[in-house]
Amino acid sequence: MPKPYPQEFREDVVRVARNREPGVTVEQVAADFGVHAMTLWKWMRRADVDDGTKPGTSSQESAELREARRRIKLLEQENEVLRRAAAYLSQANLPGKGSTRS
């Protein structure tokens, strides 16, 4: 997978594409910066969503959602460990299972 372009570079290219002269295509701007035209179109769509001019999930919301899902997965794993530990300990405390009761 190719290395992602720095965010500042993306913002600069999008700004140039938005402020291009009449008659200059997005494809020409993309070629000038050495990126694929489809890549620039995607960056422009993402910028529109992030700016609130088009509906969608912003980059910040996506990052927060990704972090929340990661945290939920971790908590579910911790919960499973605790559930198994509780089941093990409850079995160890049953009479006749290693207990020395008189």
pLDDT band for 18, please (50, 70, 90 cuts): very high
Confidence of residue 99 (pLDDT cuts 50, 70, 90): low
Summarised one tens digit per residue, pLDDT across range 51-78 is 888 888 888 888 999 999 999 999 999 9
As a whole number of angstroms, the distance between CA 13 and CA 6 comes to 11
> Is there a contact between 46 and 72 (Cβ–Cβ < 8 Å)?
no
The answer to whether the beta carbons of residues 30 and 40 sit under 8 Å apart is: yes
The predicted structure's pLDDT at residue 1 = 67
Place of tokens 């402020």: 19
Is CATH 3.40.228.10 the right assignment for the domain spanning 1-56? no
What pLDDT is recorded for position 93?
A: 79
At CB < 8 A and 24+ separation, what contacts does 15-19 make?
17/44, 18/44
Q: What is the pLDDT of residues 29-51, one digit of tens each?
A: 999 999 999 999 999 999 998 88
